[in-house]
Amino acid sequence: MSRISTRVWNGKETMKDTRTRYLPGRFFLIAFIVAWFFWFADAYFSWNGGSQVLQGLLIFLGICGPVAASLIMFRQARSPELWSDYLYRLISLRRINLRTLPFIVFLFPAMICIAIAISLLFGKSPDQFAILFSPAIMTIPALTGIFLAPALEEAGWRGYGVDSLRSRFSLFFTSVSFGLLWAFWHAPLFLINGFYQNSLLSSWLFTTNFFASTVVMAFLVNWVFYRNNRSIIACILFHLSADVSMSFIPAEQFTKCIVTVLMVLVAVVIVIGDYDLFFEKRLR
């Protein structure tokens, strides 16, 4: 194993020398194989009479892909330091920077409300200002995705995946490459009958917006990650706020395109405002 030297990861904290070499290619391959195996199976059963319980189980198992890949990589590394660092980042609330908490909790609800207000100028319905509990959302597969996905994904993506890319590239390029991989990782969900992503296929604009928003989201979550001492809990809260807001506030797809534009503006401000973090040389 090659040695990772002590370097600044988030502007304040340094990564302990783990004498471990990160292997991003292997990690992402495992994450994709696990998720896609179960999600393609779910796609098949969704069109051939599979029960909601079965579909929910397959969605859940697919979401476990990133965290399963992380656990496999940590086991192969055989580094007590790396494993201890992961567990501490996963459970410790002390790593969260309280100054970022309003951003973590309220950014997405605020952006959605602003986007709805803007959409009214285009003739969209004011009924979007509501809390929705529709039958489409209150199904086992949908609720599995909304509430479990943030925890399971972030435990894997921020547990190993993003750090593995960051060990080789600047945070800016890490966010671009991770965002593209993350967006592509969702692809089988578009084939699942009745699933949210499948409904987006009715419009190329809505489909494109999903992938674009995922790439931009990578910048926002990565900033939260490194400005909260690599706290996985902080990322889970941010991801959960985004998913719950998008699911239970009945914003139209046109409005969600406006949300993506607002996300881009926020990401630009963050990258420019935290230039040194995003463009410092890769960790060696």
Query: Could you tell me the residue range of the domain that residue 165 belongs to?
Result: 24-279
Residue-by-residue pLDDT tens, the chain, 284 positions = 233 333 334 434 444 443 347 899 999 999 999 999 999 999 999 999 888 889 889 999 999 999 999 999 999 988 888 899 999 999 999 999 999 999 999 999 999 999 999 999 999 999 999 887 766 666 666 676 777 899 999 999 999 999 999 999 999 999 999 999 999 999 999 999 988 899 999 999 999 999 999 999 999 999 999 999 999 999 999 999 999 999 889 999 999 999 999 999 999 999 999 999 999 865 54
**pLDDT given at position 18:** 39
- Does residue 13 fall inside a structural domain? no
Q: Tell me if 19 is assigned to some domain.
A: no
| d(C-alpha 130, C-alpha 277), whole Å | 38
Helical packing angle, 101-120 and 232-248, nearest 10°: 20
Would you say residue 256 lies in a domain?
yes
Residue 16: inside a domain:
no
pLDDT value for 112: 97
Helix (H) or strand (E) holding 32: helix 24-46
Instruction: Establish if 264 belongs to a structural domain.
Output: yes
Query: Is residue 238 in some structural domain?
Result: yes
Q: Which residues are catalytic?
A: 153, 186
The answer to whether residue 177 sits within a structural domain is: yes
Strand partners, 210: none
Residues in the chain, overall count: 284
Residue 20, classified by CB atoms within 10 Å of its CB into exposed (0-12), middle (13-18) or buried (19+), is: buried
Q: Considering its fold, how many domains does the chain have in total?
A: 1
* Residue 169 in domain: yes
